[in-house]
Amino acid sequence: MEPADESVDVAIIGGGMVGASLAEMLAPLGLRVALIEAQPVESTAQPSFDARTTALSNGTRRILETMGLWDSLAAAATPIRSIHISERGRFGRAVIDAREQGLPAMGYVLPNRALGHELWRRLRSRAGTRILSPATVEGVTATGGAGRVAVRQGDRSSTVEARLIVAADGANSLVRTGAGVGLARRDYEQTAIVTSVSPGKFHDHVAYERFTTDGPIALLPLADGRCAVVLTLDPVAAQAALALPDADFLALIQERFGWRLGAFSTLGRRDAYPLALTEAQENVAPRTVLIGSAAQGLHPIAGQGFNLALRDAATLADVIADAATGPSPDVGAAEVLERYAAWRERDRRVLISFTDGLVRLFAAGIGPLRFARSLGLLAFDVSPAAKAAMSGLSRGFAGAQPRLARGLPLRAETP
Ligand SMILES: Cc1cc2nc3c(=O)[nH]c(=O)nc-3n(C[C@H](O)[C@H](O)[C@H](O)COP(=O)(O)OP(=O)(O)OC[C@H]3O[C@@H](n4cnc5c(N)ncnc54)[C@H](O)[C@@H]3O)c2cc1C
């Protein structure tokens, strides 16, 4: 076999929300890390750090705090003081209040771009992080002792050899396919349209989730007083909605959401995301780990995709940190991958079933089920146990927590 052009301990394919977070988590460990990303963070074609906002759980805030990132992000993050869940045309509703739950906030809304700029600003100054971007991975192979990554940068092709290859290359992961890992996929036959509006009344840091027979609509509070909107429609209705003039699209949002926040105005740009539940049959393969959307893709209804994915990254960083301190470190050895897979099993399973269950429950238009749902929301509103379970999601994590989620740095950084 030809010698590789470069040799590293960890090659991370994809420097989006999850791959870039993992690279930054690994930076203090003194390993040789390559981060290979097709679209630079400044590019308007960057698919991860786009115009979306992400609802971060308190568990995610904790991880970002331990990484030393939160102070730089806090100004762009809007605290969610309560979550209001309702169903159009029904009597039930539920409110989960942070103070009632003994939390400073139920979570935080952060523009994806703010996270992208801060992560990439730091990564560019990391001596041990080799950044290849714009660079596209065209193939991966794994032999006994190492993985190989074929990279294209413009006209130039090169090979990177790595003890461990991390697939952080999103839902259509080339690394996952190259590693021969199958994917279970169920199309929700729904499209999320993401935009923003100015509400007539101040949002008061409330996040709204409203279920309608045509799909859910979520409004999230933003720092400038506006609200991010996630409107879910069937694909045909979504196409028609995307073609509407701004005034008609605003009227559609108003009709779906109602008047609780007054009249909406000043529509932002609209972006569409087809929704599917995807689950890789394994999250490890020889010399390879799958994290984030490459491992699983969730409906955004409960805002859990990135929160779950950051726990993938924090757990992998933890396992790598332990493997890197052994007498003959091999961060891609089979036992390291097995430890990672076993650790992530429960959290993944719980979140996938919870999110999918929520989609199915609120998709059902059947009379008795709808009635039960209304009662359910009412019961939820008075049941401290149900609310505590929901706010447990905000605290984040089913099962043992990795060090970064417990406030413990993986290794002290020398200033
Ligand atoms: C509408 C919507 C709203 C959401 N809201 C929330 C929310 O409120 N809270 C929450 O927790 N989650 C939310 N999510 C989920 C969250 O966006 C995802 O979990 C997150 O984007 C996953 O990031 P990722 O880095 O794994 O994948 P991606 O974002 O897909 O990034 C993959 C990266 O890999 C790069 N790449 C791909 N192929 C290659 C290649 N061959 N070579 C080099 N680079 C490559 C891409 O350029 C990209 O940068 C939402 C999702 C959607 C669709």
Is pLDDT of 21 > 90? yes
Q: What is the DSSP letter of 326?
A: S
Work out the pLDDT band at 90, boundaries 50, 70, 90: low
Residue 361 maps to a domain = yes
The mean predicted confidence, pLDDT, of the chain is 91
- Look up the CATH number of the domain holding residue 331: 3.50.50.60
Whether residue 248 lies inside any domain: the answer is: no
Q: Which domain holds residue 167?
A: 6-186+275-406
CB 55 within 8 A of CB 30: no
Position with higher pLDDT, 86 vs 38: 38
Is a pLDDT exceeding 80 seen at residue 386?
no
* pLDDT of 17 over the 80 cut: yes
394 lies in some domain: yes
pLDDT digits (tens, 9 = 90+) for 167-220: 999 999 999 999 999 999 999 999 999 999 999 999 999 999 998 878 889 999
**Placement of tokens 């409110």 in the chain:** 95
Mean pLDDT score, 30-51: 95
Assessment of whether the complete model's pTM goes beyond 0.85: yes
In the predicted structure, residue 372 carries a pLDDT above the cut 80: no
Average pLDDT over residues 242-258: 97
Does residue 195 belong to any structural domain of this protein?
no
Tens digit of each residue's pLDDT (9 = 90 or more) over 110-138 = 999 999 999 999 999 999 999 999 999 99
The pLDDT assigned to 187 comes to 95
Does residue 247 sit within a domain? no
Structural domain count of the chain: 1
Q: Does residue 69 lie within any of the structural domains? A: yes
The pLDDT value recorded for residue 361 is 75
CA of 378 to the centre of ligand 1 (A): 35
**13 CB under 6 A from ligand 1?**
yes
Do residues 391 and 96 lie in contact, with contact meaning Cβ atoms separated by under 8 Å? yes
CB 103 within 8 A of CB 57: no
Residue 301 included in any domain = yes
Asked if pLDDT for residue 91 goes beyond 70, the answer is: no
The response to whether residue 355 sits with its C-beta less than 6 Å from ligand 1 reads no
Q: Kindly tell me if the per-residue pLDDT of 391 is higher than 80.
A: no
DSSP state of 137: E
What are the DSSP E strand ranges found in 62-155? 78-80, 82-87, 93-97, 107-111, 129-132, 136-142, 147-153
Q: 96-116 pLDDT, tens per residue?
A: 899 988 889 999 999 999 999
Check whether 258 has a pLDDT greater than 80: yes
Mutation pick for ligand 1 pocket among 293, 296, 308, 348 (CB with most ligand atoms within 8 Å): 293
Q: How far is the CA of 116 from the centre of ligand 1 (A)?
A: 11
Other beta carbons within 10 Å of 165 = 32
Categorize the per-residue pLDDT at 392 as very low, low, confident or very high, splitting at 50, 70 and 90: low
> Is 269 domain-assigned?
no
Give yes or no for residue 48 CB within 6 A of ligand 1.
yes
* Nearest-angstrom CA–CA distance, 142 and 116: 30
Phi, psi of 203 (to 5 degrees): -70, -20
